[in-house]
Amino acid sequence: MSPSNPPIPSHDEPDWARVSQIAVQGSDSPLVPTSLAPACLRVYPAYARLDIPGAVNECLVRREVHQRLLLAARALPEGLSLVVLDGWRPWRVQQYLFDTLYESLRSHDPSLDDAQLLARTREFVSLPSRDPQAPSPHLTGGAVDVTICDADGLLLEMGTQFDEATPASHTDHFERHPPASDTSQSEARDNRRLLYRVMSEAGFTNLPSEWWHFDFGDQLWAWYRGEPRALYGPAEMDSIETLWKRSLG
Protein backbone atom coordinates (compact mmCIF):
# COMPACT_ATOMS: atom_id res chain seq x y z
CA MET A 1 0.00 0.00 0.00
CA SER A 2 1.44 3.34 -1.07
CA PRO A 3 1.45 6.02 1.66
CA SER A 4 0.44 8.50 -1.05
CA ASN A 5 -2.73 6.50 -1.76
CA PRO A 6 -4.02 5.45 1.68
CA PRO A 7 -7.20 3.47 2.33
CA ILE A 8 -10.52 5.29 2.32
CA PRO A 9 -11.84 5.73 5.86
CA SER A 10 -15.32 4.46 6.65
CA HIS A 11 -18.00 7.00 7.57
CA ASP A 12 -21.56 6.54 8.77
CA GLU A 13 -24.42 7.47 6.50
CA PRO A 14 -25.73 10.98 7.22
CA ASP A 15 -28.57 11.51 9.67
CA TRP A 16 -30.68 13.43 7.19
CA ALA A 17 -33.07 14.79 9.81
CA ARG A 18 -30.15 16.42 11.62
CA VAL A 19 -28.42 17.46 8.39
CA SER A 20 -31.51 19.43 7.40
CA GLN A 21 -31.39 21.32 10.73
CA ILE A 22 -27.93 22.78 10.10
CA ALA A 23 -28.21 26.55 9.67
CA VAL A 24 -27.72 27.89 6.16
CA GLN A 25 -25.62 31.04 6.05
CA GLY A 26 -26.56 31.85 2.47
CA SER A 27 -24.18 33.14 -0.18
CA ASP A 28 -24.44 35.18 -3.36
CA SER A 29 -21.57 33.23 -4.92
CA PRO A 30 -22.61 32.71 -8.55
CA LEU A 31 -23.00 29.49 -10.46
CA VAL A 32 -20.22 29.17 -13.04
CA PRO A 33 -19.76 26.72 -15.94
CA THR A 34 -17.10 24.05 -15.57
CA SER A 35 -16.86 23.59 -19.34
CA LEU A 36 -14.65 26.69 -19.59
CA ALA A 37 -12.05 25.21 -17.22
CA PRO A 38 -8.52 24.15 -18.32
CA ALA A 39 -7.98 20.74 -19.87
CA CYS A 40 -7.22 19.11 -16.51
CA LEU A 41 -10.96 19.37 -15.80
CA ARG A 42 -13.23 17.65 -18.30
CA VAL A 43 -17.01 17.96 -18.40
CA TYR A 44 -19.57 15.34 -19.34
CA PRO A 45 -23.11 16.41 -18.30
CA ALA A 46 -24.40 12.88 -17.80
CA TYR A 47 -28.09 13.62 -17.29
CA ALA A 48 -28.37 15.85 -20.35
CA ARG A 49 -26.72 13.10 -22.41
CA LEU A 50 -29.39 10.70 -21.08
CA ASP A 51 -32.15 13.13 -22.11
CA ILE A 52 -33.50 13.38 -18.58
CA PRO A 53 -36.31 15.98 -18.55
CA GLY A 54 -35.05 19.37 -17.38
CA ALA A 55 -31.37 18.43 -17.39
CA VAL A 56 -28.92 21.19 -18.36
CA ASN A 57 -26.24 20.59 -20.98
CA GLU A 58 -23.58 22.07 -18.68
CA CYS A 59 -22.18 21.33 -15.23
CA LEU A 60 -22.63 24.43 -13.11
CA VAL A 61 -21.12 24.86 -9.63
CA ARG A 62 -20.46 27.69 -7.20
CA ARG A 63 -17.35 29.73 -7.93
CA GLU A 64 -15.47 28.39 -4.88
CA VAL A 65 -16.40 24.82 -5.83
CA HIS A 66 -14.98 25.43 -9.31
CA GLN A 67 -11.70 26.63 -7.79
CA ARG A 68 -11.47 23.55 -5.56
CA LEU A 69 -12.23 21.21 -8.45
CA LEU A 70 -9.22 22.69 -10.23
CA LEU A 71 -7.08 22.06 -7.13
CA ALA A 72 -8.16 18.41 -7.15
CA ALA A 73 -7.65 18.05 -10.90
CA ARG A 74 -4.13 19.50 -10.74
CA ALA A 75 -3.21 17.08 -7.95
CA LEU A 76 -3.83 14.06 -10.20
CA PRO A 77 -0.86 12.25 -11.76
CA GLU A 78 0.19 13.44 -15.20
CA GLY A 79 -2.05 12.14 -17.97
CA LEU A 80 -5.18 11.95 -15.82
CA SER A 81 -8.06 14.42 -15.74
CA LEU A 82 -10.95 14.99 -13.37
CA VAL A 83 -14.34 14.53 -15.06
CA VAL A 84 -17.39 16.44 -13.82
CA LEU A 85 -20.57 14.45 -14.44
CA ASP A 86 -23.05 16.67 -12.60
CA GLY A 87 -23.11 19.78 -10.47
CA TRP A 88 -26.04 22.13 -9.84
CA ARG A 89 -29.22 20.22 -10.54
CA PRO A 90 -32.66 21.71 -11.31
CA TRP A 91 -35.38 20.63 -8.90
CA ARG A 92 -37.24 18.95 -11.75
CA VAL A 93 -34.27 16.65 -12.37
CA GLN A 94 -33.95 15.86 -8.66
CA GLN A 95 -37.62 14.89 -8.54
CA TYR A 96 -37.28 12.72 -11.65
CA LEU A 97 -34.25 10.85 -10.28
CA PHE A 98 -35.93 10.28 -6.92
CA ASP A 99 -39.21 9.05 -8.43
CA THR A 100 -37.60 6.73 -10.97
CA LEU A 101 -35.29 5.09 -8.41
CA TYR A 102 -38.15 4.74 -5.91
CA GLU A 103 -40.35 3.01 -8.51
CA SER A 104 -37.47 0.83 -9.72
CA LEU A 105 -36.81 -0.37 -6.19
CA ARG A 106 -40.51 -1.04 -5.62
CA SER A 107 -40.71 -3.12 -8.80
CA HIS A 108 -37.50 -5.00 -7.97
CA ASP A 109 -38.57 -5.91 -4.43
CA PRO A 110 -42.34 -5.67 -3.77
CA SER A 111 -41.79 -6.79 -0.16
CA LEU A 112 -40.30 -3.39 0.79
CA ASP A 113 -42.66 -1.18 2.78
CA ASP A 114 -42.84 2.61 2.34
CA ALA A 115 -40.26 3.33 5.04
CA GLN A 116 -37.81 0.82 3.58
CA LEU A 117 -38.35 2.17 0.07
CA LEU A 118 -37.67 5.70 1.25
CA ALA A 119 -34.49 4.66 3.08
CA ARG A 120 -33.19 2.67 0.09
CA THR A 121 -33.95 5.52 -2.30
CA ARG A 122 -32.30 8.15 -0.08
CA GLU A 123 -29.17 6.00 -0.04
CA PHE A 124 -28.53 7.21 -3.61
CA VAL A 125 -30.89 10.15 -4.27
CA SER A 126 -31.71 12.81 -1.68
CA LEU A 127 -35.24 14.07 -1.18
CA PRO A 128 -36.21 16.75 -3.69
CA SER A 129 -36.38 19.98 -1.70
CA ARG A 130 -36.26 23.67 -2.57
CA ASP A 131 -36.65 24.67 1.09
CA PRO A 132 -34.13 27.52 1.68
CA GLN A 133 -33.28 25.95 5.04
CA ALA A 134 -33.06 22.33 3.84
CA PRO A 135 -32.30 22.15 0.10
CA SER A 136 -31.26 19.01 -1.74
CA PRO A 137 -27.43 19.09 -1.96
CA HIS A 138 -27.28 19.31 -5.75
CA LEU A 139 -29.74 22.23 -5.77
CA THR A 140 -27.16 24.36 -3.94
CA GLY A 141 -24.36 24.21 -6.51
CA GLY A 142 -22.13 22.79 -3.78
CA ALA A 143 -22.50 19.09 -4.65
CA VAL A 144 -20.62 17.51 -7.54
CA ASP A 145 -20.42 14.08 -9.11
CA VAL A 146 -16.96 13.31 -10.46
CA THR A 147 -14.70 10.57 -11.75
CA ILE A 148 -11.30 10.34 -13.49
CA CYS A 149 -10.32 9.68 -17.10
CA ASP A 150 -7.01 8.92 -18.82
CA ALA A 151 -5.31 10.94 -21.55
CA ASP A 152 -7.49 9.26 -24.18
CA GLY A 153 -10.69 10.25 -22.39
CA LEU A 154 -11.42 6.74 -21.15
CA LEU A 155 -12.92 6.57 -17.67
CA LEU A 156 -10.88 4.75 -15.07
CA GLU A 157 -12.25 1.56 -13.54
CA MET A 158 -14.18 2.37 -10.35
CA GLY A 159 -15.91 -0.96 -9.75
CA THR A 160 -19.43 0.27 -10.53
CA GLN A 161 -21.00 2.67 -12.97
CA PHE A 162 -21.88 6.23 -12.02
CA ASP A 163 -25.33 6.18 -10.35
CA GLU A 164 -25.32 2.39 -9.97
CA ALA A 165 -27.59 1.87 -6.96
CA THR A 166 -25.86 -1.14 -5.40
CA PRO A 167 -23.85 -1.69 -2.18
CA ALA A 168 -20.67 -1.94 -4.29
CA SER A 169 -21.04 1.79 -5.05
CA HIS A 170 -20.36 2.63 -1.41
CA THR A 171 -17.07 4.51 -1.39
CA ASP A 172 -15.30 2.16 1.03
CA HIS A 173 -16.70 -1.07 -0.46
CA PHE A 174 -13.32 -2.41 -1.57
CA GLU A 175 -11.77 -1.46 1.77
CA ARG A 176 -14.37 -3.55 3.61
CA HIS A 177 -14.26 -6.31 0.96
CA PRO A 178 -10.60 -6.45 -0.15
CA PRO A 179 -9.99 -7.91 -3.61
CA ALA A 180 -8.55 -11.41 -3.41
CA SER A 181 -5.94 -10.82 -6.09
CA ASP A 182 -4.62 -8.31 -8.61
CA THR A 183 -7.87 -7.91 -10.53
CA SER A 184 -10.03 -5.10 -11.87
CA GLN A 185 -11.37 -4.77 -8.31
CA SER A 186 -7.87 -3.94 -7.08
CA GLU A 187 -7.65 -1.34 -9.83
CA ALA A 188 -11.03 0.07 -8.83
CA ARG A 189 -9.98 0.24 -5.17
CA ASP A 190 -6.83 2.17 -6.04
CA ASN A 191 -8.70 4.53 -8.36
CA ARG A 192 -11.32 5.24 -5.71
CA ARG A 193 -8.55 5.97 -3.24
CA LEU A 194 -6.96 8.41 -5.66
CA LEU A 195 -10.26 10.21 -6.33
CA TYR A 196 -11.12 10.37 -2.63
CA ARG A 197 -7.66 11.68 -1.73
CA VAL A 198 -7.46 14.52 -4.24
CA MET A 199 -11.03 15.63 -3.55
CA SER A 200 -10.58 15.49 0.22
CA GLU A 201 -7.33 17.43 0.04
CA ALA A 202 -9.16 20.10 -1.99
CA GLY A 203 -11.67 20.55 0.86
CA PHE A 204 -14.54 18.31 -0.26
CA THR A 205 -16.40 15.73 1.80
CA ASN A 206 -17.78 12.50 0.38
CA LEU A 207 -21.22 10.89 0.63
CA PRO A 208 -20.33 7.38 1.88
CA SER A 209 -22.87 5.56 -0.30
CA GLU A 210 -21.57 7.09 -3.56
CA TRP A 211 -17.89 7.01 -4.57
CA TRP A 212 -18.60 9.78 -7.12
CA HIS A 213 -20.45 12.31 -4.90
CA PHE A 214 -18.56 15.12 -3.13
CA ASP A 215 -19.69 18.28 -1.37
CA PHE A 216 -18.36 21.69 -0.49
CA GLY A 217 -20.34 24.39 1.30
CA ASP A 218 -23.73 22.64 1.54
CA GLN A 219 -25.38 21.10 4.61
CA LEU A 220 -23.93 17.67 3.89
CA TRP A 221 -20.42 19.17 3.84
CA ALA A 222 -21.15 20.97 7.12
CA TRP A 223 -22.39 17.70 8.67
CA TYR A 224 -19.24 15.74 7.89
CA ARG A 225 -16.90 18.63 8.71
CA GLY A 226 -18.65 19.47 11.97
CA GLU A 227 -19.26 23.04 10.76
CA PRO A 228 -21.91 25.10 12.58
CA ARG A 229 -23.50 26.31 9.34
CA ALA A 230 -23.62 25.63 5.63
CA LEU A 231 -22.45 28.24 3.16
CA TYR A 232 -24.96 27.61 0.37
CA GLY A 233 -28.72 27.52 0.12
CA PRO A 234 -30.64 26.80 -3.08
CA ALA A 235 -29.26 28.34 -6.28
CA GLU A 236 -30.94 29.21 -9.56
CA MET A 237 -29.47 29.38 -13.03
CA ASP A 238 -29.71 32.85 -14.54
CA SER A 239 -32.29 33.37 -17.26
CA ILE A 240 -32.40 36.26 -19.68
CA GLU A 241 -35.39 37.59 -17.71
CA THR A 242 -33.48 37.69 -14.40
CA LEU A 243 -30.49 39.30 -16.12
CA TRP A 244 -32.71 42.04 -17.56
CA LYS A 245 -34.42 42.59 -14.21
CA ARG A 246 -31.08 43.04 -12.46
CA SER A 247 -29.72 45.38 -15.11
CA LEU A 248 -32.85 47.53 -15.02
CA GLY A 249 -32.72 47.80 -11.26
Pair 77, 70: CB distance under 8 Å: no
Q: What is the dihedral sign for C-alpha 54, 58, 63, 68?
A: positive
Quick check: 84 and 42 in contact, CB under 8 A? yes
Indicate which residue of 210, 227, 236, 241 is catalytic.
210
* Nearest to 195, CA basis, from 154, 156, 224: 156
44 bridge partner residues: none
Residues annotated in a binding site for Zn(2+): 138, 145, 213
Nearest residue to 86 (alpha-carbon basis) of 45, 50, 123: 45
Strand partners, 24: 230
Is 210 known to be catalytic?
A: yes
Q: List active site positions.
A: 210
